[in-house]
Structure 1
Amino acid sequence: MKGKLMYDVIVVGGSFAGASAAMQLARARQTVLIIDAGTPRNRFASEAHGFLAQDGRAPAAIMRDVHRQLLRYPTVEILSGEAVGARAIDGGFAIEASGGREHSARRLILATGVSDELPPIPGMNERWGETVLHCPYCHGYEVRDRPLGVIAAHPMSAHQAILIPDWGPTTYFTQGQFEPDTAELEGFAARAIIVERTPVVELIGEAPALDGVRLADGRFVEVGAVFTAPKTRPTTSLAAMLGCVHEDGPTGPYVKVDPWGATSVAGVWAAGDSATPMHNATLASAAGVLAGIGAHQASVRAKAG
């Protein structure tokens, strides 16, 4: 790496978590390279909700403003592209970007996010982010007062279902696999949740709108939107390449971090959906702030001896 610029920090991922980390570092006058593939998890949603001062704006518009603000700081660079490799080097880390060029930094922040794998039901993918949803706090208000469904995808789906009646009358589809227990059934009764044990086999209507679902026995059930919990997986293997410890969450693995976002590998932090089982834009941004501060304070400690 001799002769090449070594940044203070490389941030991989330029959405809510990564950009929030980079902002703290920029304001601490750290040299920062953001490598952003431009494929955030929320790109399928037309609007972001529940994010302070940004409610109702398109996620892409929010990030354009954020990147413009970051580039006002002279120590920040943004590279459009994918980070495809990561390794430890003397004094820090090297990240290989698409195209083969390598960039080095003393510390890394991984804000790479996760990818969603929806239940394999025809009609799900083309409605994702509009009438097929995962977070009622993010999108429930926009589908309020419609008949709503929860398509069970894992053992926590019953917990998800108990929330939904505050937005509309709710049917819980067990898919023949995720039967509520006795206590959950009592909660369902108190919340007037209908339990349907025949599996959903198709979503009906002109996408992205939803008229209802067809069941395996041919019946049609009217619903205006459905909630489900997709399986999640890291969008990149960078954390695994570096040896970061992962934990198993209810929908998939995530990077184990301490309260400041530090991973099990010294000099590497992680933030956002790839580093928590709780997925929300505000939480991702807050985690990015902590990771950025944590990385800067590690630099201070190193210089102070």
Structure 2
Amino acid sequence: MAVDVAIVGGSYAGLSAALQLARARRSVVIIDAGLRRNRFAETSHGFLSRDGEAPSAIAESGRRQLLAYPNVRFVEGTAETAGREGADFLVSLRDEKIGARRLILATGVVDELPPIPGLEERWGRSVFHCPYCHGYELGQRRIGILATGDHSFHQAMMLPDWGPTTLFVNGTFEPDAAEEAMLAARGVEIAREGVVAVEGSKAIVILAGGREVSLDGLFVTPRMRMASDLPAALGCAFDEGPLGPYIRTNEAKETSVAGIYACGDAARAAGSVSHAVGDGVTAGMAAHRSLIFDMH
């Protein structure tokens, strides 16, 4: 027998969506492979009441509270395929098939860092993507931004609020005269040498020619790709953001495919834990209402 809603992805967005449905006394199955996007960070910031806690602790607390509801089941594993099965959906794992009247995709994204030695090892520790999440803890000490495109101008203009800033254009972005004047007014230094590597206990940027710039934190906005093939395989439409594609949704977080909702980083041009939780609430409530009012 099909459950009311299957949720693919059990991180912040998926858990939040499930909580709304659980409290509506609907049957819910959450399928999760355990690969949260922020698993590389030691602490999470900016989420009201949980500021400074370990990401794993926040997720585990949410999961524990959710599983107190008898109408919720958590399945550890990867959803390999999904599709229509009559009026319902069928999600296939390696050892199980789950039927559901509605489907919520909280499948997340994967960050693709520039291929510079030392970046990956420091990701989430001294190399970051979000100043709102990690900038305050750097204590207004020296920080940098590794440009990955024209959008890096926006971030370089913001970062001086968190500390003295150096912009490493690295051949990916060249500010025009007006942009350079704006950066100068914000006190941003511009380094035009190519970035060879990142070393040290924090972030020592090694530049072509041998110059070294010691930083307490380095920010970079990586390209993002879908962590799962399911949204595309299900026929969901995508929008192209400055950092990569994301699932197109309406104000209720319903995708272009009737009966399928999406939330979290997979359905946003950029996200955070707070955004994921809020989007999950919207998706969960909308899926519940659709079970009452919609016939598809």
Paired with 2:182 and 2:69, the residues of 1 have a C-alpha distance of: 52
Letter in 2 for 1:281: V
Q: 1:175 aligns with which of 170, 174, 177?
A: 170
Paired with 2:166 and 2:154, the residues of 1 have a C-alpha distance of: 13
If the length of structure 2 is used for normalisation, what is the TM-score? 0.98
Match of 1:165 in 2: 160
Paired with 1:56 and 1:302, the residues of 2 have a C-alpha distance of: 41
Structure 2 residue matching 1:154: 3-state secondary structure: coil
Q: CA RMSD in A?
A: 1.2
Q: For structure 1, list consecutive stretches of 5 or more residues without a partner in the other structure.
A: none
Q: How does 1:138-157 map to 2 (within 5 A)?
A: 138-157=133-152
Q: 1:244 aligns with which of 226, 236, 239?
A: 236
Match of 1:301 in 2: 293
The offset of 1:92, in angstroms, is 1.1
Match of 1:113 in 2: 108
Paired with 2:206 and 2:76, the residues of 1 have a C-alpha distance of: 42
Paired with 1:68 and 1:80, the residues of 2 have a C-alpha distance of: 14
The offset of 1:157, in angstroms, is 0.6
Letter in 2 for 1:275: A
Paired with 1:177 and 1:53, the residues of 2 have a C-alpha distance of: 38
Match of 2:33 in 1: 37
The offset of 1:113, in angstroms, is 0.4
Structure 2 residue matching 1:26: 3-state secondary structure: helix
Match of 1:72 in 2: 68
Taking only the aligned residue pairs, the percentage that are identical comes to 49
Q: 1:134 aligns with which of 122, 129, 134?
A: 129
Q: For structure 2, list consecutive stretches of 5 or more residues without a partner in the other structure.
A: none
Letter in 1 for 2:48: L
Match of 1:265 in 2: 257
- Once the two structures are superposed, what CA deviation does each residue of 1:268-298 show, in whole Å capped at 9, x if it has no partner? 0000000010211101110010000110010
Paired with 2:177 and 2:4, the residues of 1 have a C-alpha distance of: 54
Letter in 2 for 1:15: S
Letter in 2 for 1:110: L
Could you list the runs of 4 or more consecutive aligned residues of structure 1 that deviate by over 3 angstroms after TM superposition?
none
Q: 1:81 aligns with which of 64, 77, 80?
A: 77
If the length of structure 1 is used for normalisation, what is the TM-score? 0.95
Structure 2 residue matching 1:176: 3-state secondary structure: coil
* Match status 1:219 vs 2:211: yes
Match of 1:95 in 2: 91
The offset of 1:64, in angstroms, is 1.0
Give the count of matched residue pairs: 296
The offset of 1:199, in angstroms, is 1.2
Letter in 2 for 1:287: D
The offset of 1:190, in angstroms, is 1.0
- Once the two structures are superposed, what CA deviation does each residue of 1:175-214 show, in whole Å capped at 9, x if it has no partner? 02201123321221111100111111111203xx22x211
Letter in 2 for 1:216: A
